[in-house]
């Protein structure tokens, strides 16, 4: 389980590092526009099948985060990390709820693509997950 937690922490750390660096450098807006542009192009190319793909990616992301947080709570006995993990879980529940509502409204034609994401919440989530995975990796390196 500890190896699996380490692998997941490395993956989260690496995946979020690009966006984290953009946020820290203050160049996140261009990156966010590029994400939207790429998503729009992909939706145009794939057509109606994108709904299934997007909901599958959403579900996969949710399950991966749940598993990561579960492993963290089970394997790391540091009270500070446990409290931080619980706080991030609450924030991520809010984050995933916002995205689910946004996706539902987008697919029913009530939202534009640009309205799906609340970029402040996306940035907060990125900073928290990047930092959390970094701390988990540091803790695991001392075991």
Domain boundaries, the chain: 2-141
Residues 6+ apart with CB under 8 A from 32: 117, 119, 122
Cβ contact 109:2 at 8 Å: no
Q: What is the mean pLDDT of residues 91-114?
A: 97
Cβ contact 4:12 at 8 Å: no
* 110 DSSP assignment: S
Cβ contact 73:85 at 8 Å: yes
Look up the pTM and report it. 0.93
For residues 143 and 136, give the distance between their C-alpha atoms in angstroms, rounded to a whole number: 11
Looking at residue 51, its pLDDT comes to: 96
Helix, coil or strand: residue 77: coil
- What is the band of 143 on the pLDDT scale with cuts at 50, 70, 90? confident
Helix axes 28-46, 2-25, angle to 10 degrees: 110
Tens-place pLDDT, residues 9-55? 999 999 999 999 999 999 999 999 999 999 999 999 999 899 999 99
């Amino acid at each position: 389980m500890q190896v699996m937690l380490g692998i997941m922490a490395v993956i989260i750390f690496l995946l979020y590092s690009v966006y984290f660096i953009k946020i820290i450098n203050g160049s996140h807006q261009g990156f966010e526009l590029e994400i939207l542009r790429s998503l729009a192009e992909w939706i145009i190319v794939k057509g109606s099948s994108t709904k299934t793909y997007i909901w599958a990616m959403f579900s996969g992301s949710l399950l991966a985060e749940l598993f990561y947080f579960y492993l963290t709570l089970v394997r790391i006995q540091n009270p500070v990390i446990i409290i931080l993990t619980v706080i991030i879980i609450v924030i991520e529940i809010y984050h995933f709820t916002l995205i689910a509502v946004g996706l539902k409204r987008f697919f029913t034609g009530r939202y534009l693509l640009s309205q799906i994401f609340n970029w402040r919440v996306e940035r907060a989530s990125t900073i928290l997950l990047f930092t959390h995975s970094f701390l988990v990796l540091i803790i695991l390196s001392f075991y």
